[in-house]
Copies of this chain bind each other. A is one copy, B any other.
Amino acid sequence: MVTIKDIAKECNVSIATVSNVVNGKNKVGAQTQKRILEAIEKYGYKPNLVAKGLRSKRSGVIGIIVEDMAQFTTPDIVEGIMHRIEDYGYKSVLVNLRFYSRWSDTWFNDESMLESTIKQSLSEISSMQADGLIYVAVHGRNVTKIPEDIGIPAVMTYAYEQNPQVPSVVIDDELSAYTAMKYLLEKGHREIAIIGGRTDNLHTQLRLKGAVRALDEYGVTVPDDRLFYVKWNRDDGYKAAEELFGRDKKVTAVFCMTDRMAGGVYQYLYDNGRVVGGDCSVIGYDGQSISDYFIPGLTTMALPLDRIGDCAARLLMEKLEGIQSGIELKDNILAIPCEFVERESVRDLNADKG
């Protein structure tokens, strides 16, 4: 089947331009319009009729609900969304639920307290007559935030939506942690500690699963006393390092499930006269902007935030404009791996032997 992409390629214009012509928007020069209409005729391109039928009611606005804009993950996901939807001529408005700012982390185990806030934000989005909705969660968990009767296409990001109408775009935590741990193992490390988040947190669970898969492949075990479940921050990373190295001098590498935790480990090692990447290796996770400033540079797994936003927008555009995204969902989920960022914080023990 001929798609809008093929027409755009043939005419050497953007998809948005073809879309404008198909939808009779008066934005395209006469010459270009003629070329596009001829290509449509020639290749027998049929715009998505269901989508077209709905178009006359459209506002051209996508609603974005974010759970907390002040969390570091949110702005980059939103940027990815906006970049893509603007390519298709859509605008966006954003509503910020301020979960952490309002309730710190008290809402983790009782999300029912959030219901009225979310309901209100959905009604705001609806009163703007948004054509579609993207919801940006602040941490990965199973949620039911998008009601079945919402009436517009929606996509969840950074959490797993249970509403079967709504696809979810998330990090592939299992694969990313597998990659990170495998890297430590390939560099010859066998005495490894892991600093993770809360045990009931899905990110912790999946990252641990991935790390253990790599360890198993090398026949290496991380005993319980080298495994820490703490808060995701710098102070807790420091305390874990203090406890670990206070009793255990054999560990050569620490896998930290956030860069912030790694920052605490760096500080502990500095305070105790030990050199990161020399006496002890550290690997982080998140690729936050802070990680650019660690000395020596922190090797880490960078969250694919921009891509999460981009893919969510493409899935939404598929529903709204009938433009094939080319994205294959598995159980209604797209899991995107982190990008491996190699810097200087992990020592190659093989090189020492060689």
Contact = CB atoms under 8 A, between A and B. Distances in A.
Interface of A: 61, 69-70, 72, 74-76, 78-79, 82-83, 86, 91-96, 98, 101, 120, 124, 128, 234, 260, 263, 266-267, 270, 289-290, 292-295
B93 A79 contact: no
A93 B95 contact: yes
Contacts of A293: 234, 260, 263, 266, 290, 293-294
Contacts of A79: 69-70, 98, 101
20 contacts: A61-B124, A69-B78, A70-B75, A70-B76, A70-B79, A75-B75, A78-B96, A86-B98, A93-B95, A93-B124, A94-B94, A94-B96, A260-B293, A263-B292, A289-B289, A289-B290, A290-B292, A290-B293, A293-B293, A295-B295
Contacts of A78: 69, 96
Contacts of A124: 61, 91, 93
User: Interface majority SS on A: helix, strand, loop or mixed?
Assistant: helix
A263 B289 CA distance: 12
Nearest to A95: B93
A292 B294 CA distance: 11
